[in-house]
Structures are given as structure tokens and as C-alpha cells.
Amino acid sequence: MATTYQEQFSVDGIQFTTREAVELIEIDNQFAKATITTMGGSVLSFIPKGQKDLLWVSDSAIYDGSKPIRGGVPICWPWFGGAKQPGLPAHGFVRSMVWTVEKAAHLDTGETRVLLACESNEKTLEQWPHVFKLKLCVEVGASLTLTLISANLSDESVDITEALHTYFSVANPIGMQIKGLEQSTHLDKLVDNAPAEIQTDVVVLNPPKDSVYLNQTGTVSIVDADNERQIVIHKRNSQSSVVWNPGPEIVKGFADIDDQAWLDFACVESGNVLEDFITLPAKAEHMLSVQYLVKPL
């Protein structure tokens, strides 16, 4: 018999609700509150006890299921950026799919783990002719850990690019330091055919900015000074980071971002993009993971 998620996973501290056409999973445990949506398998909110939300979601986000929700942690897969073929969506198609919840439970540690999944179907195979299953393991505790598991279920190897396109809530992105990107290979996507260059200094965000940092595997820290905090990003199996904020002019081209809202977020994305693509052998899996936490300045 078809059961709703609430019946299937009747666990204290985990509520399954809806907002317009979108399913939400609301988590409230001893460490934090969090909100996840099956729309795109995206985490929308993570609020450690005593802290402000680490994530930003647009006040003008669309919840009718027609497009990804603007904000939180959109999942870019099986490609990052523009599609190779015209007519296919930027950042891949999984963020426009409704994922399923495979597990939802509290751990002995008091943390909460939710496992979401999506898999190839007739529509995805038309866009990308490979059989796959993609899983996202969300672990909510004093920190937020996201693990994206790509499974190539086909008999041939396949190349993917991927990113957790995270919108972090910050008090003021102008002049904000983003540490840990030094010595990576910087590509400025706002400059046509910009040469790759080694990032020598700590990145200072002055929107507009749309930059890829290749060969970048270490921990990244966002100095959210006016919130008197650092947002720390530990990552595993990620060779790339991307930093994006549209600034006051480019933002006007986004119907689901208010004109002043560029002042409220910074995207610092972890993944494997452009030349840092991943070759997935037949029947193999790849795990990309990040851990987000807050430290005082």
C-alpha cells in the first residue's frame, strides 16, 4: 500500500510537510534544525543551535515544482555549467527531479541522517544516455555533512562533472574574504577567454564574481565578519571550488532573486568541474562529500 513518508518514517523530530507543490523534510534534533526538499534533493536550511541559518534561500524562490528552488544546496549533476548539447539545462537535470527518501532516522549520536535518491529514467536517458543512481546522504548534527554518491550502473565508463552549488547566508559579501583557495588555478568566468592563473592571494569577494578554482582540494573558510563567524567547508574527493555572486546588475536577470538580495548570500561551491571531471568506470561509484560548520572569528 502506498504510504506517505510520515507514516513510513514516523520518527520524532522528523516531519514531512509540503510547501505548495514541494515536499519538505523538517528536522529538529538536539544539535540543529534543518530543512530538506525532495525537489532536486536539496538542503534548504541548516541552523545549528544558537546560530543563524548557514544557508540562504531566495524570498522569490518558486515552490510550484516547475524549477529548482533558488538557494540552499542545489545539486549540479551530471554536468556543471552549460550543457554540451543545446537545449539541455545548465548544471544538469537532477536538481529538477523529485527525489525519493530512502531512509530517515536518528543515529545513536543524536544526529539525524536522511538518505535521498534519484535514478535514470526515460526522460533522463533522452538527455544523457547513461543508467545511473544518485544518492545524497544528509547528516544533521552540530555540523552538516552532505555525501553525494554517483553510481554508474551501465556497462561503459562515463565522465561527469558535479558540484554542490551552495548558497551561504552572509551579512555582507562585499569585501568578504574566502580563505583556502590560494595556489589553485583560477578561471575568471566573467572575462571571455580569461587565461588560467595561479591564485596567489586570499580571495576577496567583490561582486559580481563568477570564478572557478581548479586543483583545489583543501578546506575553505568564508569569513562572515559582520555575523562574527567563519563558515568552514571541509571537503573530500573534490578537486574544484566555485565562487559566485551576481552583484547588483547581473542579479536583475534572475526572476527568482530580488534585486537587493545579492547582498545576502555568497555561493561557494564544492565539486569536480571543467577539467577536473570524474571518469566513472562501469559499475563504479564516486563519493563527493562536504562538511559545513561554524567557528567564531
Q: Which of 146, 151, 149 is nearest to 135 (CA)?
A: 149
Question: Which residues contribute to the site for ligand TA6 (CB under 6 A)?
Answer: 81, 90-91, 165, 210, 242, 244, 267, 269
In the complex, the smallest distance separating the C-beta of residue 277 from ligand TA6, rounded to whole angstroms, is 16
Of the pair 11, 250, the CB lying nearest ligand TA6 is at 250
In the complex, the smallest distance separating the C-beta of residue 230 from ligand TA6, rounded to whole angstroms, is 22
Of the pair 104, 170, the CB lying nearest ligand TA6 is at 170
Of the pair 266, 294, the CB lying nearest ligand TA6 is at 266
Which residues on neighbouring strands pair with residue 32, listed in sequence order?
Answer: 48
Of the pair 233, 267, the CB lying nearest ligand TA6 is at 267
In the complex, the smallest distance separating the C-beta of residue 28 from ligand TA6, rounded to whole angstroms, is 29
First-last CA distance in the chain? 52
Cell of 108: 545513536
Of the pair 104, 164, the CB lying nearest ligand TA6 is at 164
Beta carbons of 73 and 270 less than 8 angstroms apart = no
Nearest residue relative to ligand TA6 (C-beta): 244
In the complex, the smallest distance separating the C-beta of residue 60 from ligand TA6, rounded to whole angstroms, is 13
In the complex, the smallest distance separating the C-beta of residue 16 from ligand TA6, rounded to whole angstroms, is 26
Beta carbons of 152 and 284 less than 8 angstroms apart = yes
Of the pair 180, 207, the CB lying nearest ligand TA6 is at 207
Beta carbons of 242 and 213 less than 8 angstroms apart = yes
Per-residue b or e along 72-82, where b marks 16 or more CB atoms closer than 10 Å to that residue's CB: bbbbbbbbbbe
Of the pair 107, 255, the CB lying nearest ligand TA6 is at 255
Of the pair 152, 216, the CB lying nearest ligand TA6 is at 216
In the complex, the smallest distance separating the C-beta of residue 91 from ligand TA6, rounded to whole angstroms, is 5
